[in-house]
Amino acid sequence: MNYNKEKTAKNKQISAANIGKSGQDIAAVFQFKDNRSEAIKQAKLKAKMEVNVPSTVPIQRKIHYKSGTYSSDSNRPGWRKFLKNYVVNEYNVKHATSYTSTNINLSTLHLDRCHRISFHDIQAWVIKYLNGNMSKAVFTERTDRLYDGSSTDKPLMVAERTRLFKARTKAKKLSSSRALLSLLNSATGNVSLGNDSINRSIGMQLDVNFKTNGSKQALTPNSRRMLSKMPKKSTSGIALTPGRTSVKSSHVGASVSISNTTPKTKRLIKKHIY
């Protein structure tokens, strides 16, 4: 949902007819999947060595403490190198391309790095935990949902989250929460390359992905995993088109009609519309 430039407040609706911007037709677009193929799993393993070097990554100050209260600013940490490599490798597998994180031109391809659960919501969880407004159990459950079973970057996040849980001083809590926020922002189970215009119109809301299921559209495993146990209003909600009849999805590259989704997907979508 969030991306490598600041989002605008546009509500530009992108129809299936607009997908030609990136040279894709609607049939090809709806073949996008969140579930990881062997090739995608190998791409994660390839990035494993880069994940285990936290000391080389500068932590940007996005969390602050003043007068007994923790707060955040409006900025987002930079993308971790392992995430940059992962999303490009994932894109290559899906599109039979051979880009690298250094030679891919996201602007030319009309792509952004898109969160499913926005950085805005993730940051809000961290602040709520720090201020005692979210339990350790709930915080653990929600942050775990940003990763799938093959996420090689998850152990690094878990280690940093454990350091935060053990922190007793303000300085240690600030240090661990800033490092943790940086890792959560780049969680490989929560970010993929997607259509830039739709991504920017979604803003801080949920950016879910779909797959074809017979004649209907269904949430992909990653998107279903994230929404299935999330309580109502625990995020900024599903992003809808102006008529509130379709779901915006940068990962699909089009808007998906709610009436054309499977019953289970429809129930999950409606749960997160507010």
- 48-88 pLDDT, tens digit per residue, is 444 444 434 444 558 999 999 999 987 889 999 999 999 99
Structural domain for 180, as ranges: 39-185
User: What is the reported pLDDT for 52?
Assistant: 45
User: What is the reported pLDDT for 62?
Assistant: 81
Residue 216, in any domain of the structure: no
- Taking only the tens place, the pLDDT of each residue in 86-112 is 999 999 999 999 999 999 999 999 999
Pairwise CA distance, residues 253 & 193, whole Å: 10
User: What is the reported pLDDT for 39?
Assistant: 54
Mean pLDDT of the chain: 84
Residue 157, in any domain of the structure: yes
Query: What is the DSSP code (8-state) at residue 46?
Result: H
* Single-letter amino acid code for the residue at 250: S
pLDDT of 11 > 90? The answer is no
pLDDT of 169 > 70? The answer is yes
Residue 136, in any domain of the structure: yes
What average pLDDT score do residues 242-257 get? Answer: 96
Residue 145, in any domain of the structure: yes
Residue 173, in any domain of the structure: yes
List phi, psi (to 5°) of 252.
-75, -40
What's the structural domain count of the chain? 1
Tokens of 240: 């809808």
List phi, psi (to 5°) of 206.
-70, 140
Q: Looking at mean pLDDT, say which of 13-17, 22-26, 147-151, 158-162 comes out highest.
A: 158-162
- The model scores a pTM over 0.85: no
Residue 126, in any domain of the structure: yes
- Sequence-distant (6+) residues with CB within 8 A of 195 are 14, 19, 21, 22, 110, 111, 112, 250, 253
Strands (DSSP E) contained in 169-232 are: 191-195, 210-213, 216-219
Residue 98, in any domain of the structure: yes
Residue 241, in any domain of the structure: no
